[in-house]
Chains A and B, each alone.
Chain A
Amino acid sequence: MSEWVKKRVSNPYLRALVLGLLDIFYIARLGLSVEGIGSNFLRFFEAVGGIVWLFIKSLVQIFLPPYRLREILKQMEIAGWQSIPLIGITVGFIGLVTVLELDYQLYRVVGNIDYVPGFAGILIFREFGPTVVSAMFSAKVGAGWSAEIANMKITEQIDAMELNSVNPIKYLVVPRLLASVVMLVALSVVGASFAFFAGWIIARQNFSFWAYYIMMSKFIRLTDLGTLFTKALVFSSVVPITSAWYGFKAEGGARGVGEATTKSVVSSILIIILLDFILNTLADKLLKIVLE
């Protein structure tokens, strides 16, 4: 086919275009074939399965000695401190945008903006607090961890560990897992508060601080704060386990490290979104059951 094209089309740009399209069509035919799509899905499920299994193994390892408190504290510092600037800035802007956007939406819908703080509060405490903070955490800290562990894998340090009867899960994953749980919950709370104050910067055109606060608290129940905690707790285990899992699987030199990092960030965020969806659905159902 390409021979035919080369002979018939003389304009080099046109020829390059057609040949390029042919190449892509050929690759696409392979990629989009049933095996192609199917195998992608299979790989993702395989990944999820592997990650869940690693999570269980790590949970077990938490309770076995030695308990390396210093390592855990060190990871907590990395996880907590390093991500504060990124999370602070992103959540801050989210707070600003939420109130701005809700001003616009609610004004059109009900004609006044009284309910904006309440609505904003719901979004901030139930969604943006845990979810966005976790996503940013994954992008900064999770990426760092998977790069670190992937590097160790390709320099064969993981193998060296196992040969020395050190369990890499105990040594590498557990401290990061514990650090994540503590830090991400804290960061979610801090992040939500940040968004709260950022929201006020916009809302102060129309509300006094007390009005803002009170309007918001009218709509936020204790269960919402509970949601914040629960979500943060659940998401916090996703990031370290996923990063570690892709890190352990890395191969192929510097390129492998890059691949592991990319895949772990994307997978973490995807899993967080899925879990968020499931938790939201369950929360509604639970609430219905409780109320009836």
Chain B
Amino acid sequence: MGERILNIFSLGIFRILGGALVGLGNLILGIGARSIFLWEVITKIGKKPFELREFILQLYLVGVRSLAIVAVSGFFVGGITVLQFHYALSLFGAQVYLGGVTTSGLLRQVGPVLVAIMITGRVGAFISAELGTMRASEQIQAVRCLGLDPVSVLVLPRFLAVVIMIFLLTIVGLLISLAGGALVSFFLLKVSISYYLVNLLKLTTIQAFLNGMVKSLLFGILIATISCYEGYYSAPSAEGVGKAVNRTLTYASISVFLVNYIITAIVSLTFTLGENILFLSGAR
């Protein structure tokens, strides 16, 4: 009797372990497949002929589609950040640092991640759907039959456009969110300009800006890879396209937050120590 219970119990354990291993295996395979795809796309960059026209068109499409959304969301998230930070800082009397902390926080964290998520939704999903529809209607096969490489011709222009545009749009989004934060603090919190600025320059360093830009570059590569991969390798059916879009949104979001954590952790381990020492010793 006891043996039977033990058997059933251990079966359950094995199933869970097995499931976890399979899940882990799938994860590694998945990451591997997309990394190989990324490598494939990168190696095609230098090759002639370069799809210049298509590339410029994609730059325009990606940029124009996302600009308004980045601007609006950036502005209001800047405002939200200021409101929350003001509340929190006032609880322990550090309101004077509002300008500095808000700016630093937006540049380093909130800005890049927000822009990445908005573009994932607007452009990432769109490109997956576009490439997926091309796969379903055999346009990708048609390109191959003409003796051309679909990755060079279709994927590469979109990939590069996404990476470049996320970088540029992050700059725009950061500026707008800073403006939004500042405006909200002036008009809603009735904080004076000098008050807002007093510690801003002291607390906001070039390092914060660089931090944000490096992140946005990485986010761009992540989002471009995932959305192009899911669309290009989607199942050739309407259902397949829907699933591909779903996967893009999910994987891209997770990747953005994951990479954000990794970068933050690395930065806080290495640079911050040095910078804090400089800061506290007054050398600025």
Contacts and interface: CB of A to CB of B under 8 A. Distances in A.
**When A and B assemble into the complex, do they touch directly, with CB atoms less than 8 Å apart?**
yes
B242 interface: yes
Contacts of B101: 105, 109
B254 A127 contact: no
B121 A269 contact: yes
A86 B253 contact: yes
Interface stretch (A157-165, A186-194, A253-261): A253-261
A119 B87 CA distance: 9
A127 B114 CA distance: 14
A70 interface: no
Nearest to B122: A266
Contact of A139 (B121, B129, B238, B242): B121
Interface residues of B, number: 65
Contact of B261 (A27, A93, A143, A276): A93
A273 B87 contact: no
Nearest to A23: B57
- Counting chain A residues whose Cβ lies within 8 A of the other chain, the interface size class is 35 or more
A281 B183 CA distance: 13
A89 B72 contact: no
Given A90-B257, A97-B264, A284 B76 contact: no
24 contacts: A16-B52, A19-B53, A20-B52, A20-B56, A24-B57, A86-B253, A90-B253, A104-B272, A105-B105, A108-B279, A109-B100, A115-B92, A118-B91, A122-B84, A127-B80, A127-B84, A254-B133, A258-B130, A258-B241, A261-B245, A262-B121, A265-B121, A266-B122, A277-B76
The 6 closest A-B pairs by CB, nearest first: A258-B129, A93-B257, A20-B56, A254-B238, A139-B249, A93-B261
Given A28-B64, A93-B261, 18 more contacts: A21-B56, A97-B260, A100-B265, A100-B268, A103-B268, A104-B272, A109-B94, A110-B92, A118-B91, A127-B80, A139-B250, A140-B246, A147-B246, A257-B238, A276-B76, A277-B79, A284-B87, A284-B188
